Amino acid sequence: MRDHAPITIEDFNGLWARGDADACPLDHFLEATNIQYYEGGFRTRDGIDLFQSTGFLGNILRIHPYKMMSGLTLLVLTADGVIHHVISPSAIFNNILSKATMTDFNVVSWAGRAYITPFFTDANGLEKGLQNEFLYVYKGDGVAARKAAGNPPVGTLAVADGAAGNMDAGLHLFAVVFESDTGWLSAPAAFQQFTTTEGVTVSLSNIPVSLQSFVTKRHIVATSKIEQFNGDLDGYQYYFVPGATIENNTATTLANVAFFDIDLLEDASHLLDNFTEIPAGVGLCLYHGRLCLTTTFTDISVAYLSEPGEPEAINQVDGLLIVSLDGNPLTNCQEYRDVLYLFKQIRTVGYHDNQDVPATWEPFTVDESNGSPVHGVGAVLDSGGVNVDYLLIGNYNGIRLFDGAYQVPELSFKIQDFWFDLDRTKFRAVEIINDTITKRFYAVLPDGTILFADYSSGLDSENVKYAHWTYQVFITTVEIVNLNQLVLGSRTV
């Protein structure tokens, strides 16, 4: 040993699983199980404890964050097809949505509400929205989630002359729009035509009352003067009549409604072709103030987008994007740098908002060999997948940085063999969560374990340090609360 030159290892750089064992660099590990890293060294990973002190939930399939006005909470799906609302470790609302065939779900938080879409994996291994099921809205108060949107008015409005006031003469069409406690607006209905008299207001009666308990307001809408009426009551452009709102769901009359045609500015016509029941899908995200939902049971390559600022207003004609019909479903959707990206397992397509209806947006192909599984876009804390610099995506080819293109080499370069050994038939189980505070990310793997990554020395293929975390339970999902507290969900195998 007198002539032996010592080898100094100043830093441990994590798991190496690429090629022959002899190819492993001296500062890497051929096995790195249940450890975490600090500057220059490593130690045993942190232990785990029960997150909940009351209302214990077991056999968990999925956890998603739900941002309420009062703070971050969690929605938790258990194996019996029931979603629960976990307010804190000591407070829980049980059974806010129950669907026996639901095996997974997605959620978007909007103005303190949660929009929830239930889905499942069919016999061919394809994720789809539940058949004959819908998008649901939950207000965070423990009352069970209800179907988003709703039914339009039924009946026929009655219109008559009122008192003297501002009014243009001519044939106008009138209708009623319902408004719910979540801001949903129904399609105009209960149509009536009436020839107004110049200088004479109109009085309305027989205004429909909704049987839907969530309807809290009703609005009167009208067309401007029609020169030649063709009999098509819903074929004209309707506008909200200023001041003609009934602030309840009980009154059936409204007297002396007055307006000049020039006062009709706020369009209501986009409501005419909206879904009354929005079908359940798989992907769910926000883009330019629109709710985006993908992959219903019947339309696996279609994404539906709502009107800006109206998550429950999805137009069945103009509010859709159709991605290449190749038999493979859309699996994920994400906004990044002002672009809406739609993912299949091995395809990524982008769309720019051209300020017209979504059906006019032109797609552009980003990548035809890289995509994402249903939870493969890494969530950043509680804010979804968007980070100021990148998206973190796990797919068949590895864990990749995406900044408008998939970066090469992949972040998982050092553990390529480990990643390629994962069961590709179960990649729907892969879920990535990115902790940008402590510069770590976690990937739930199909075998119920976790791939841990420390990128405090740099987020690139050379500097990320990996370890394999195993537990005595089968891990199905992860989430982060309190900035960097990791919450694990598990089920029985």
pLDDT by residue for the chain (493 residues), tens only, comes to 677 777 777 788 999 999 999 999 999 999 999 999 988 789 999 998 888 877 778 899 999 999 999 999 999 999 999 999 999 988 999 999 999 999 999 999 999 999 999 999 999 999 999 999 999 999 999 999 999 999 999 999 999 999 999 999 999 999 999 999 999 999 999 999 999 999 999 999 999 999 999 999 999 999 999 999 999 998 899 999 999 999 999 999 999 999 999 999 999 988 999 999 999 999 999 999 999 999 999 999 999 999 999 999 999 999 999 998 888 999 999 999 999 999 999 999 999 999 999 999 999 999 999 999 999 998 765 455 555 578 999 999 999 999 999 999 999 999 999 999 999 999 999 999 999 889 999 999 999 999 999 999 999 999 999 999 999 999 999 999 888 889 999 998 7
Report CA dihedral (23, 26, 28, 31) to the nearest 10 degrees.
70
Contacts by 439-448, CB closer than 8 A, 24 or more apart: 441/378, 441/392, 442/478, 442/486, 443/394, 443/399, 444/475, 444/476, 444/477, 444/478, 446/422, 447/422, 447/423, 448/473, 448/474, 448/475, 448/476, 448/490, 448/493
Residue 335 identity (one-letter amino acid):
E
Chain centroid to CA 338: 17
What is the signed CA dihedral for 83, 89, 91, 94, rounded to 10 degrees? 20
Q: Are strands 431-435 and 379-380 parallel, antiparallel or unpaired?
A: parallel
Instruction: Give the phi and the psi of residue 195 in degrees, each rounded to 5.
Output: -95, 110
The answer to whether 370 and 397 are in contact (CB under 8 A) is yes
8 A C-beta contact, residue 342 and residue 303:
yes
26 three-state secondary structure = coil
Beta bridge partners, 291, equal 286
Type and span of the H or E element at 161: strand 158-164
Dist CA 479 CA 384 (whole Å): 11
CA distance 294 to 315: 14
